[in-house]
Amino acid sequence: MSRQLRQHGLTILIAARNLEAAKTVATNLHNQGVSSVAIALDTTDSTQIQSAFQEISDTFGKLDILINNAGVFLDGDWLISNATSVSINIIQQTFNTNFFGLVELTQVLLPLILNSPSGRNCQYV
């Protein structure tokens, strides 16, 4: 996907909880001719979400596309066997990453998306 987006002249931001892992991916993409930048981002950490916003704002001033693909599958056996046996902590961590973090990230980054010439705030009534 990154290579295809680069064909449209976009710089790809690689965000990950582990900045070193993001740097590795960004370096690999760079070696393939894709302009990319690594940033630290844990979608369950409001401080990191705000920091990512600030870094993107300061560096680019806008965000053309947001691909929210963060997700976890913690203790996945509970979905198959018995949901009554999984700890509430596992369920909370899963929802914090897979749902609430993505909603918060989208809300925080929306002003940068709206700064893009093609930025849209799609609202459904």
**pLDDT, tens digit, 9 for 90 and up, residues 53-108:** 999 999 999 999 898 888 887 776 655 556 677 788 888 998 999 899 999 999 99
Q: Could you tell me which of 106, 32, 25 has the C-alpha nearest to residue 63?
A: 106
Q: What is the DSSP string of 8-33?
A: TTPPEEEEESSHHHHHHHHHHHHHTT
pTM: 0.83
| 16-52: pLDDT as tens digits | 999 999 999 999 999 988 999 999 999 999 999 999 9
Ordered structural domains, the chain, with CATH: 2-114 (3.40.50.720)
